Amino acid sequence: MNTITAPDDRRAKRNVMVLVAAQAILGAQMPMIFTTAGLAGQSLAPNPCWATLPISAAVLGSMLSATPMSAFMQRRGRRAGFILGSAAGCFGAIIAAFGLLNHSFWMFVIAALFTGVYMSAQGFYRFAATDTASDGFKPKAISYVMAGGLLSAIIGPQLVKVTSDAMVIPFLGTYFGVIAVNLVGVWLFAFLDIPMPAQVSRDAPIEGRSRAELLREPVIIVAIICATVSYALMNLVMTSTPLAVVGCGYQTSNAADIVSAHVLAMYAPSFFTGHLIARFGVEKIVALGLVILAGAGAVAMSGLDLQHFFLALILLGVGWNFGFIGGTTMLARAHSPVERGRIQGVNDAIVFGGVTVASLSSGQLMNCSGSDVQTGWQMVNLAMLPFLVLAGGALIWLAMRPKTA
């Protein structure tokens, strides 16, 4: 009688634990920065239309570094790449602190580019979780690592509350906190146990598909579209939220609480998203995420009370979780290990390219598309509609293709 031995995922589970801790500790800097960068940018910018440019610069830095970071990890390993990302995050926070000290908007923007390098490295945590995992454990590994963001959602905003007014210059203490987070968190990667990728000689034939061939694969196309739309729309609305909350007469602490609730909603579903994907199929979960994102926009447009902001941002986080984790799972299943260095970097470059446009558009729509805060906030949320239609149409197109195609 033949028996089937279940795959041994002990190494993968250990790596997931390390990556969860990194997501929680190092990842705390992202809600810290997203809560304060727009407000700090608004105080430094020569024109309020450029208030969210520092956030856009961070996402642009992530987009520009995604492909080189992926190639670096393919040559030097995940650990080296993650340490490099943390060093860049620390360096960016140091420059940002100097920008605040010197009241230099453009120094603050340059600092954000280095923050983007860290942001790019953090984006590969989810892929690293699958490197030593069996096919059955991959969606769960991705979900668990993303769930590490729950702690970052608590740590980051609480640090903002403690540090934002701790010094004479607003938010200077927050960036000192970001420096400390990077210095402490980087030591986690000593416990990461992911083998170095196999190196291929220059004269050896290329294994697997080329980037062009991979980008013609329908599942990969739809995965990238859905992940990009989910992430970009989440960023579009989240970037404007502190500006809208403070602009409506509420306090910075209220904005921090709303961002905290949003980030919790981004990561809390991760405990069961992988199980939902395994049970119902990845396409259905991505579709549900798009519907929830649409619901977030509808709630945001229905009022400006604090409960409207809270509910809209919570729905925004859940919709992002289903759409982005689903898109990541689709991509991870559609390429071989030898192809990961080619497609993962391209995927993240496209995703963060969309997020860059969204974050830059967010400030323009919020501050320069109407005469008041309410009009700007309405325009931000209305802008979600065409992109939700695009992603939904891509999913329908994939579902209607013949299964043999």
Looking at per-residue confidence, does 367 or 79 come out higher? 79
- Topology of 10-194+214-400 in CATH? Growth Hormone; Chain: A; (1.20.1250)
CA 112, CA 120: separation in Å to the nearest integer?
A: 12
- Take residue 48 and report the two structure tokens written for it: 């309020």
Tell whether the model's pLDDT for residue 404 goes beyond 60.
no
Burial of 98 (0-12, 13-18, 19+ CB in 10 A): middle
Q: Which sequence spans correspond to the domains of the chain? A: 10-194+214-400
Question: Which residue in 87, 153, 154, 166 sits closest to 120, CA to CA?
Answer: 87
Other CB atoms within a 10 A radius of the CB of residue 375 amount to 13
Looking at per-residue confidence, does 308 or 346 come out higher? 308
Cα within 13 Å of Cα(242), Cβ side:
27
Looking at per-residue confidence, does 163 or 339 come out higher? 163
pLDDT of residue 358: 87
Mean predicted confidence (pLDDT) in 388-394: 95
What pLDDT, in 10s, does the model give residues 212-249?
Answer: 888 888 999 999 999 999 999 998 998 889 888 988 88
CA 258, CA 252: separation in Å to the nearest integer?
A: 10
| Residue-averaged pLDDT of the chain | 86
Q: With bands split at pLDDT 50, 70 and 90, how would you rate the model's confidence at 46? A: confident
DSSP 4: P
CA 363, CA 365: separation in Å to the nearest integer?
A: 6
pLDDT of residue 80: 93
Looking at per-residue confidence, does 404 or 154 come out higher? 154
CA 191, CA 128: separation in Å to the nearest integer?
A: 13
Instruction: Transcribe 107-142 into DSSP letters.
Output: HHHHHHHHHHHHHHHHHTHHHHHHHT--TTTHHHHH
Q: With bands split at pLDDT 50, 70 and 90, how would you rate the model's confidence at 7? A: low
pLDDT of residue 114: 95
Tell whether the model's pLDDT for residue 346 goes beyond 90.
no
Tell whether the model's pLDDT for residue 6 goes beyond 60.
no
What pLDDT, in 10s, does the model give residues 123-165?
Answer: 889 889 888 888 778 878 887 887 787 888 788 888 988 888 8
